[in-house]
Amino acid sequence: MNIENLLEKTLTKPQYEAIKILGGQFHKKGTRAFLVGGTIRDLLLEREVSDIDIIVEADPWNLIHKFDPKYPLDMISNSQFNTCKIKILDQAVDLAMARKEIYPASGALPVVTSASIEDDLGRRDFSINALAACINPPNWGEVLDLYRGLEDLQLKHVRILHAGSFKDDPTRIFRCIRYSGRLGFSVEGDTKTQLLNDSTYLAQLSGVRITNELAKVFSEKNANSIFDLMDQFKVLGHIHSGFPKEPEFSERKSLLENIRIPTPEFVFYVLISLIEPNQRLDLIKRLDLGNKLSKFGTDLNRIERLEVNSSRSEIFKQLTEVSEIAISVAESYAPRELRSSLELFVNELKTISLCIGGEDLMAIGIPQGPKIGDILSKILTYMIDSGPQPKSGQIRMAKKFFSDF
């Protein structure tokens, strides 16, 4: 099959020109170059192509330095894994050397060696992502389809290349469900069986790798329905039994949409808010969500532990160290009584403060030491429960509390 016409029809003019130049230059340097992965999949589906991924059967970084200088290139980045990012005709292009991967253990990162395009396609996750189209001028647009990817695009299903695929790399379980949800494809029969059998290997993934995959799911346009699919495949339970489920997730997500939470972290706040308090910190640790989200989990636990008939000072004590974001999140779903306590704290209790400090107490003869802090905190508690006091009243109370010690 040749997709010469499709390349011209589907790519933007600058994308097309950029790929033409790169194909011509790599050809002159005596190496084969191919459009691969999502680029070719989306082209064949006539979807907009956002990323241009090219595989070269050599180290691309070395070769681009030898290109004809009449084609100006911006070198954006280069990695130790023989991949680099460039800009040509204002188009960002990812270049990578064709490679082979061997997985030493399930869930571990692969050992990589240089290889042919055929080997490179064989290491890929799904047949629809294992297609390539040559960009060397003599073979411009010729499709390499070693794994029946074209047929699977027609059948609209996601299929792994070999039975051990999910075991080798369990992140492919997330990828499979993500593509299925994004493209509206089904998961092919044997792939589905294998996915259900191999979900246990998810337990071997590090927290960071799981979090990265979840972040990709959540950045999809139809993230909620993909999350729903993950539920149906019972994927999340293999990561942690405390994982929330659809539809609670979508409901909570829309509830929290108006709270100012940084975008990439947003869904993790949603997740944490849905987890049972006794499982919260364990799941945060499993996903390696970092200190900020751990603090958020602890804060929510503190808030949810607040008893209904707590005194004003008890509310203050419980919430004084809690972050504003945790309070805003809890306010959105808390039962009425708890919400009133949160509102009382935010609108009134939090604004009460002392107008005296340690120096004022020392000035009236109270010796320096831990008693100073205890007395100040007693005065504040008194004011929270019984109302504000002027400076003179606060000094009077300090003297009284000191004499009571």
Residues that bind ligand ATP (CB under 6 A): 37-38, 51, 53, 124-125, 129, 169, 171-172
Place of tokens 């504003």: 324
Cα 258 to the center of its chain, rounded Å: 20
With residue 372 as reference, give the H or E element that holds it.
helix 370-386
**In angstroms, what is the minimal distance from the CB of 21 to ligand ATP?**
21
Q: Among all residues, whose Cβ is closest to ligand ATP?
A: 38
- Cα torsion 107, 111, 114, 116: sign: negative
Nearer to ligand ATP, 53 or 299 (CB): 53
**In angstroms, what is the minimal distance from the CB of 202 to ligand ATP?**
13
**In angstroms, what is the minimal distance from the CB of 186 to ligand ATP?**
18
Cα gap 325→340, rounded to integer Å = 17
Nearer to ligand ATP, 157 or 312 (CB): 157
Nearer to ligand ATP, 171 or 199 (CB): 171
Cα gap 130→40, rounded to integer Å = 9
With residue 186 as reference, give the H or E element that holds it.
strand 186-187
Amino acid at residue number 121: L
**In angstroms, what is the minimal distance from the CB of 59 to ligand ATP?**
18
Nearer to ligand ATP, 42 or 304 (CB): 42
Amino acid at residue number 199: S
Nearer to ligand ATP, 173 or 338 (CB): 173
Nearer to ligand ATP, 238 or 312 (CB): 238
Number of other CB atoms surrounding residue 2 within 10 Å: 13
Cβ-in-10-Å burial (0-12, 13-18, 19+) of 396 comes to middle
Cα gap 53→141, rounded to integer Å = 15
**In angstroms, what is the minimal distance from the CB of 229 to ligand ATP?**
16
Which of left, alpha, beta for 184 (phi over 0: left; psi -120 to 50: alpha)?
left
Instruction: Decide: helix, strand or coil at residue 134.
Output: strand
**In angstroms, what is the minimal distance from the CB of 101 to ligand ATP?**
8
Nearer to ligand ATP, 158 or 349 (CB): 158
**In angstroms, what is the minimal distance from the CB of 132 to ligand ATP?**
10
